[in-house]
Structure 1
Amino acid sequence: MSYKNWLREHGVKHKKIVEKLLTQDLTQEKIIEYFDFENMKEKESDFCPLYAQNKKCHDMKELNCYLCSCPNFRFSDAGIQSIENKIQYSFCSIDSKDGRQGVYGEKIHQDCSRCQVPHTKEYVHKHFDLEWNKIMQICEIQK
């Protein structure tokens, strides 16, 4: 699945959950709390394939799934640049010290698995918008 397709499909799932929570008159704080990994695993099992395995995407005690992708992630499904006969498709815009570029055959993708930046409540509060797609719209590089 392309990055763009994943972003679109995930945005639909995210919006459906947020709309449900808004009908319950939840505050911003309560919406963010709802997206706690343990709660989401129990109540929104289709949101992430890792929930069925009781596995977190990042090794951290309190994982918040509201952003489930990072506003600092940049991608182009067409490729960004060529590096030593390989094509780079994604990178971190803040060059997180915990991120790295993974080489997979002739493709280079950002590996964010060791980065916890977007999964803390503090970060979610700072970047919060009820429209997840608004937060993430900066990720796709337009050529």
Structure 2
Amino acid sequence: MTYEEWFLKQGELHANVMKKLEGNTKQEIIEYFRFENMVKNEPDFCPLYKDNKKCHDMEDLNCYLCACPHFRFDDNGFKKNPDGKVLYSVCSINSKKGSEYVGDNYIHQNCSDCIVPHKRKYIEKNFHRNWFEIMKDVRSK
């Protein structure tokens, strides 16, 4: 699955949950997206839920921004490094907790140690009922 395919699918899943929560307040919606609640009530939202596994090792993980608004990707690659490896994804804020995953011929952003978009305070500040509005800069296109 490409980043683009995952991104569009996740946006659709997010929209489906938001339809269920149409009359809820911002605070109620954010509370609903807590990991423990999502595992129980939205088991198809994330493949990790079936194993009750978190994508980030943190208390109070919130899945509202399951993708980070600072993640940038291009399925065709941003550039090829002098060593021939293609850079496919980056962090637009160069998070101190981010790193790169380097393979034989590719480089991907590794966000596993960064918890920025999963904190309630960050979500409250960046909340929008339309997930794609928050994520509008993620795709390179």
Instruction: Tell me the TM-score normalized by structure 2.
Output: 0.97
Report what 1:123 is aligned to.
122
**Aligned equivalents of 2:97 and 2:116: distance in 1?**
9
RMSD: 0.7
Runs of 4+, deviation exceeding 2 Å: none
Question: Which segments of 5 or more consecutive residues in structure 2 lack a partner in the other structure?
Answer: none
**Aligned equivalents of 1:111 and 1:138: distance in 2?**
18
Deviation of the 1:4 alpha carbon: 0.9
Deviation of the 1:104 alpha carbon: 1.8
Residue 47 of structure 2: SS of its match in structure 1? coil
Report what 1:52 is aligned to.
50
Residue 101 of structure 2: SS of its match in structure 1? strand
Residue 50 of structure 1: SS of its match in structure 2? helix
Question: Which segments of 5 or more consecutive residues in structure 1 lack a partner in the other structure?
Answer: none
Report what 1:138 is aligned to.
137
Structure 2 residue aligned with 1:34, among 29, 32, 35?
32
**Aligned equivalents of 1:2 and 1:127: distance in 2?**
26
Deviation of the 1:105 alpha carbon: 1.8
After the TM superposition, which of the residue ranges 100-109 and 32-41 deviates more from structure 2? 100-109
Matches within 5 A, 1:1-143: 1-22=1-22, 25-83=23-81, 84-142=83-141
Instruction: Tell me the TM-score normalized by structure 1.
Output: 0.96
**Aligned equivalents of 1:101 and 1:80: distance in 2?**
14
- CA shift digits 1:109-128 (9 cap, x unpaired): 00000000000011111111
Deviation of the 1:57 alpha carbon: 0.2
**Aligned equivalents of 1:87 and 1:110: distance in 2?**
12
Deviation of the 1:139 alpha carbon: 0.5
Deviation of the 1:137 alpha carbon: 1.6
Number of equivalences: 140
